[in-house]
Amino acid sequence: MKKLKGIMLIDDDDTNNFLNQRLLNRMQITEKIKEFRNGKQAFDFLYNISAGHYEVTSPEYFKPALILLDINMPVMNGFEFLSLFEKLDADFRKDIVLALLSTSEHSQDTERAAASKIAYITKPLTTQKVQDLLDAHFQNQEA
Amino acid sequence: MGEFLIVTAYVLVAGFLFYLAFRREDRERKWVMALFGMIALMGGAVHGLNFWNYGAGGETFHILRLVFGAVALVGAFLLFRAITGLMAIPGLRQLQKANEELQEQLKERENAQLELREAHQALEDRVQRSSAQAITANRELERQIENRKRAEKQLISKNYELIKKNADLDDFVYYASRDLKGPVLNVAGLVEAIREELPPGNPEFAQLFDRLDDSVSSIHRKLNNLAEVSRIQKPVEDAQMSMVSFDHVLQQVKENLATVIQAAQAHLQADFSAAPAVYFSRDNLYSLLLNLISNSIKYREPQRPLLISLSTSLQDQYLVLKVQDNGIGIDLEQYGQHLFSLFRRFHDHVEGSGVGLYIIKRVMDNNRGKVEVESVPGEGTTFLLYFVNHDQETGPRI
């Protein structure tokens, strides 16, 4: 399987980011993983990339193929991030897969995710869950 | 000369009588006096004629005397006629007597009037007294009403506070269970990571990890129970209500509990023909059946195969779901009143959280239903769930 261009982990829980990054690293599905502590940090990053405001040569800047998004976060939560993300250029967004990653099994949250047509994964993230997601969204990209 | 004196006397008497007649006020006497006066006058006139023409005869003279005499006679006759009237006129004594009687009557009347006035006064006093009492009573009543109003207001505000506190508590439980989930999952993840990093084959580590896993999953289960409880506290929205088939939900529960049902070798039999569906929230009916059946499995009698029978029936305004098992039963006299309390457990030989029956009770209460339980220790337990029978939504039954 071809490796993903990059993954963004957006979660205010440091340890959760650490564990997810460890899991993804061990699965060896990408070279680039970047962590963000809330929706605003992540959106600023994405916005700069979409607008071309970045150093092309810098390994710190990359356009992600997958974004794993927590719901409850300070400053800007997952759904607020989502509504801003949907305002970005459609061409820019079309090859980015978004998945909500949350402890909440509340129907209010799952219904909202379904309304936005994005994947909803309950924590903890496991190899199996990541694999299911990849199978669902990245099958076609295999070279 | 004699004649002259008599005439004078007659005329004087007549004058007196006429004067009297003129002065008298009662008609009877006026009339009588006038008649006497007339007769006296006539007498006087005859004597006057005699005196005037003493010894002289003549036609005119005789005729005048005759006329006077006739007039006197007529007066006498009239007097006779008036006698009866005169008899009716009371004498002085009679008058005095009548007067006395009248006086007495007057006195009596005065007395009566006095008594009347006294009675009236007494009555008025009484009226005043009683109206004063009424006013006092009225004031007392007003004060009581005021007190009651105040108490009612306090009650309402207390009730409002309670509702708010309850809602806060529900929120607290919900957010606590949600926010604690993350760290617990992290611990589980970290434990797993450590296990992966450590070289395998150390029995000491293996035992420690087993215990760690148990503890973490126990915390996780408890948090899930709390989340479930807080979810159940919230009233169900109308949109979630629909006709739900008992069979479908039971099937779902059986699938979810497949491994435990298998392990316990439980036999389930169901007959929902009397009422195949109920107007309810699907999630809540699922929760009810799941808790009832897993309870029956948990508290089964190991000496005999477990049999759980489910059935529905219609009773008055209720649709009744009956879930009966042949498990170990429960002593209702001892535990009955705490049976549905949160976090109360009556057995420690099996794993449990103490929320199952609480959830059942809450769900039924929230939907204006009720729960009844019958049990004979050593023989089994029967749960009766009374659902409000929404006939209009039920439509025709098969």
Q: Which residues of A touch B181 (CB under 8 A)?
A: 103, 123
Alpha-carbon gap: B181 to the closest alpha carbon of chain A (Å): 7
B54 HSE (CA, 13 A, CB side): 5
Evaluate if residue B337 carries a pLDDT over 90.
no
- Name residue B376's beta-bridge partners: B380
Chain A positions with Cβ closer than 8 Å to B: 13, 15-16, 19, 22, 72, 103-106, 123-124
Q: Which of B173, B174, B184, B185 to mutate to test the interface with A (most CBs of A within 10 A)?
A: B185
The candidate with the shortest Cα–Cα distance to A94, out of A56, A29, A141, is: A141
Instruction: Inspect the interface and report whether the beta carbons of B189 and A16 lie closer than 8 Å.
Output: yes
Phi-psi category of B323—alpha, beta or left, where left has phi over 0 and alpha has psi -120 to 50?
beta
Alpha-carbon gap: B287 to the closest alpha carbon of chain A (Å): 15
Q: Identify the burial level of A78 via C-beta atoms within 10 angstroms of its C-beta, where 0-12 means exposed, 13-18 middle and 19 or more buried.
A: buried
The secondary structure of residue B315, as a DSSP letter, is E
**What's chain B's length in residues?**
398
Q: Which of B170, B174, B178, B240 to mutate to test the interface with A (most CBs of A within 10 A)?
A: B178
Evaluate if residue B57 carries a pLDDT over 70.
no
For the residues B59-70, what does the mean pLDDT come to? 83
d(CA B306, CA B320): 23
d(CA B274, CA B389): 13
Instruction: Inspect the interface and report whether the beta carbons of A123 and B181 lie closer than 8 Å.
Output: yes
- What are the angstrom distances between the C-alpha of A50 and each of A8, A91, A118? 15, 10, 21
Highest mean pLDDT among B86-95, B204-213, B354-363: B204-213
Confidence category of residue B394, pLDDT binned at 50, 70, 90: very low
> Quick one: pLDDT at residue B395?
46
More confident residue, B234 or B98: B98
More confident residue, B338 or A82: A82
Alpha-carbon gap: B331 to the closest alpha carbon of chain A (Å): 37
Q: Write the pLDDT tens digit of every residue in B225-283.
A: 887 777 777 766 777 788 889 999 999 888 888 888 888 888 889 888 888 888 888 88
> Quick one: pLDDT at residue A140?
59
Q: Write the pLDDT tens digit of every residue in B340-387.
A: 776 666 666 666 667 778 888 888 888 888 899 898 888 888 999 998
> Quick one: pLDDT at residue B152?
94
Using CB atoms, which residue from A13, A19, A72 is nearest to B190? A19
Q: Which residues of A touch B227 (CB under 8 A)?
A: 105
The secondary structure of residue B331, as a DSSP letter, is -
Instruction: Inspect the interface and report whether the beta carbons of A15 and B186 lie closer than 8 Å.
Output: yes
Q: Which of A15, A17, A21, A127 to mutate to test the interface with B (most CBs of B within 10 A)?
A: A15
- The residue type found at B176 is A
Least confident of B11-20, B84-93, B102-111, B261-270: B84-93
A62 φ, ψ (degrees, to nearest 5): -155, 155
> Quick one: pLDDT at residue B398?
39
Q: Which residues of B touch A104 (CB under 8 A)?
A: 178
For the residues B50-74, what does the mean pLDDT come to? 78
DSSP class per residue in B5-65: HHHHHHHHHHHHHHHHHHH--SHHHHHHHHHHHHHHHHHHHHHHHHHHTTT---HHHHHHH
- The verdict on domain B238-394 having CATH code 3.40.630.30 is no
Using CB atoms, which residue from A15, A16, A103 is nearest to B178? A103
CB pairs under 8 A between A and B: 31
> Quick one: pLDDT at residue B89?
67
> Quick one: pLDDT at residue B392?
46
CATH second-level architecture of A11-61+69-104? 3-Layer(aba) Sandwich (3.40)
> Quick one: pLDDT at residue B132?
92
Evaluate if residue B172 carries a pLDDT over 50.
yes
> Quick one: pLDDT at residue B80?
84
Mean residue pLDDT across chain B: 84
For the residues B82-110, what does the mean pLDDT come to? 83
The secondary structure of residue A31, as a DSSP letter, is S
**DSSP β-ladder status, B370-376 and B380-388:** antiparallel
> Quick one: pLDDT at residue A68?
94
Cα R_g (chain A), whole angstroms: 14
d(CA B293, CA B285): 12
For the residues B146-175, what does the mean pLDDT come to? 88
- The residue type found at B320 is V
> Quick one: pLDDT at residue B347?
64
d(CA B380, CA B308): 10
Give the three-state DSSP class for B310. strand
Instruction: Inspect the interface and report whether the beta carbons of A19 and B193 lie closer than 8 Å.
Output: yes
> Quick one: pLDDT at residue B397?
44
Q: Under a CB-based contact definition with an 8 Å cutoff, are residues B376 and B329 in contact?
A: yes
Query: CA nearest A14 in B: which residue?
Result: B186
Alpha-carbon gap: B183 to the closest alpha carbon of chain A (Å): 8
Alpha-carbon gap: B185 to the closest alpha carbon of chain A (Å): 6
Query: Each residue's pLDDT tens digit in chain A (143 positions)?
Result: 678 889 999 999 999 999 999 999 999 998 889 999 989 999 999 998 888 887 777 777 888 999 999 988 888 888 899 999 988 888 888 889 999 998 877 767 777 787 778 888 988 899 999 999 988 888 755 43
Q: What does the block give as tokens for A2?
A: 């071809």
Alpha-carbon gap: B267 to the closest alpha carbon of chain A (Å): 32
Query: CA nearest A107 in B: which residue?
Result: B231
What count of other Cβ atoms lies within 10 Å of the Cβ of residue B212?
Answer: 17
Q: Which residues of B touch A123 (CB under 8 A)?
A: 181-182, 185
Chain B positions with Cβ closer than 8 Å to A: 178, 181-183, 185-186, 188-190, 193, 227, 231
Alpha-carbon gap: A46 to the closest alpha carbon of chain B (Å): 26
Query: CA nearest A124 in B: which residue?
Result: B185
Q: Sketch the domain layout of chain B as residue ranges.
A: 2-89, 238-394
> Quick one: pLDDT at residue B343?
67
The candidate with the shortest Cα–Cα distance to B322, out of B367, B258, B275, is: B275
Cα R_g (chain B), whole angstroms: 62
Q: Sketch the domain layout of chain A as residue ranges.
A: 11-61+69-104
